[in-house]
Amino acid sequence: MSSHPRRRPLALAAALGLAAALPAVTVPASAASYGTPTITLSASYLSGAVGATGDPVVTVTVAQSGADASALTVAASASSRTSVARTTDVSVTGTASSRTLAVTARGVGYTDLTVKVTGLGGKSATKTLHYAASPAVQFAADSRYLTGSSDASAAVDAGGGYIVVADDESNVLRLYDRNASGAPVRTWDFSSALGVAKEIDIEGATRVGNTIYWTGSLGNNKDGEVKADRRTVFTTTVTGSGASTQLSLGGKYTGLRDDLIAWDRANGDHYGFAAGAAAGQAPKQIDGFNVEGLEFAPGSTSTAYVGFRAPLAPAVPGGGALLVPVTNFDQLPGGSVHAAFGTPIELDLGGLSVRDIRRAAAGQYLIVAGSWAADDNSDPYALYRWDGLPGSAPVKLLDLPTSDAGGWETVVDVPDLTAPGARVQVITDDGSADLYGDGVAAKDLTHPEWKKSRSTWFTVNA
């Protein structure tokens, strides 16, 4: 047995002059250095509803230097209020750098969701998603939510499954996918070009060809203050359709309120327009002055029906709903003429007034009927069919549900109401609604992503 100490392999190799024959030592690829992952959210705020179908989603974009995006995982790792949504209520789909995150609401309220991306090398990063959930509603499967605003007040079809929606709390017009929940794909604000500093209180709209006519309420504000900007009637010109829709400003007219008051005075103050529009008078009274509907008469592109929320005719419980024909409406925006009037029309809507009126291509009319009062979230609402002719009685199609938040405000378009299974889309004004159980009206919410109106499809001819 040798008395020399055992030599280590490399020392022995060196001693034998064989070092040059040994292979070079390399670092395995798995030991490569990875950067800290990055994560961004397309929005930091998101809203949903209990029991909803197709709620809005958020796009999550992730990356990590030295790693392919498909190797990264994204998931919710924490919820500040699990009664609203748990981490298991958050789903993330996709495998590339862009993922889609959706939340299924468990209960009403707010929660902060921690969204975590985990990359290679055990490294991770997080972002916080501020989530708000509103209550379940009737007809949830047929409802969608238009976010970014809670005060939808008028809407017209833009073709290709898209609609242009007005807001009575701002002058912004918004283009939405009518079949999906989410934010507008395009917005327009013509305030500066119209020369208005405050809200027009847009309440009525109708489209003829490529021209959309819009009207303010023409009334005072809720405190009875006379506001000049609410007298505005204007037009926009449509180019393109669907998601490619573009609007440009046409003309405007600010004299219709005064024309209506003068016309009524000349006819013995029959409807009390002067008194209802006087300073100090709130518009949403049974004898107030407030316009909410606009649509052209049968076969006409010049005579338009101006539909009143107030007054009733006569201004007593059970009174009729009032339409005043303006026979040269098409000449008012951008023109130099005053309004001319036809014979007024009083309709029996069961003591309700006009909240919107829309004509179909076939000449049928659909009227959204509601109370003249300001307590929108509880008073009756109904849909009526009408042929547009003076002397013809409207026919009630259905009562609209009133147990959910929001007042039914506008109808998008009218199908053939005689066809079996005919469906119409009606949109709510949720501005006064407490959507999330915290006592805050939707119009006063801090984040536009949490503001929303609801659109629901109703079958009107089973």
CATH class of residue range 140-461: mainly beta
Alpha-carbon distance of 220 to 34, in angstroms, equals 63
The pTM assigned to this predicted structure is 0.91
Determine phi and psi for 332, rounding to 5 degrees: -75, -55
- In this structure, are residues 184 and 164 in contact, taking their beta carbons and an 8 Å threshold? no
Q: What local confidence, expressed as pLDDT, does residue 212 receive?
A: 98
Peptide bond into 420 cis (omega under 30): no
Between CA 246 and CA 347 the distance in angstroms is: 36
Q: Considering only CA atoms, which of 319, 403, 405 is closest in space to residue 145? A: 405
Please give the chain's pLDDT, 462 residues, in tens. Answer: 444 444 444 343 344 343 444 444 343 444 358 999 999 999 999 999 999 999 999 999 999 999 999 999 999 999 999 999 999 999 999 999 999 999 999 999 999 999 999 999 999 999 999 999 999 999 999 999 999 999 999 999 999 999 999 999 999 999 999 999 999 999 999 999 999 999 999 999 999 999 999 999 999 999 999 999 999 999 999 999 999 999 999 999 999 999 999 999 999 999 999 999 999 999 999 999 999 999 999 999 999 999 999 999 999 999 999 999 999 999 999 999 999 999 999 999 999 999 999 999 888 999 999 999 987 677 899 999 999 999 999 999 999 999 998 999 999 999 999 899 999 999 999 999 999 999 999 999 999 999 999 999 999 986
- Distance separating the N- and C-terminal Cα atoms of the chain: 105
pLDDT at position 361, please? 82
Count Cβ neighbours within 10 Å for each residue of 29-48 and write b for 16 or more, e otherwise: eeeeeeeebbbebebebbbb
**Spatial contact of 264 and 311, defined as CB atoms under 8 Å apart:** no
**Per-domain residue ranges for the chain?**
34-134, 140-461
Residue 272 phi/psi, 5-degree rounding, is 70, 30
Cβ atoms of 184 and 176 within 8 Å: the answer is: yes
CA distances 228 to 115, 215, 357, Å, are 48, 13, 25
**In this predicted model, what pLDDT tens digit does every residue of 85-116 receive, in sequence order?**
999 999 999 999 999 999 999 999 999 999 99
User: In this predicted structure, what is the pLDDT of residue 346?
Assistant: 98
Residues 6+ apart with CB under 8 A from 3: none
- Cis geometry, peptide bond prior to residue 56 (ω within 30 degrees of 0): no
Task: Using the structure block, give the residue that is written with the tokens 């026979």.
Answer: 327
Say how far apart CA 208 and CA 237 lie, in whole Å: 10
Domain 34-134 CATH assignment equals 3.40.50.1970: no
Dihedral sign computed on CA atoms, order 52, 156, 444, 430: negative
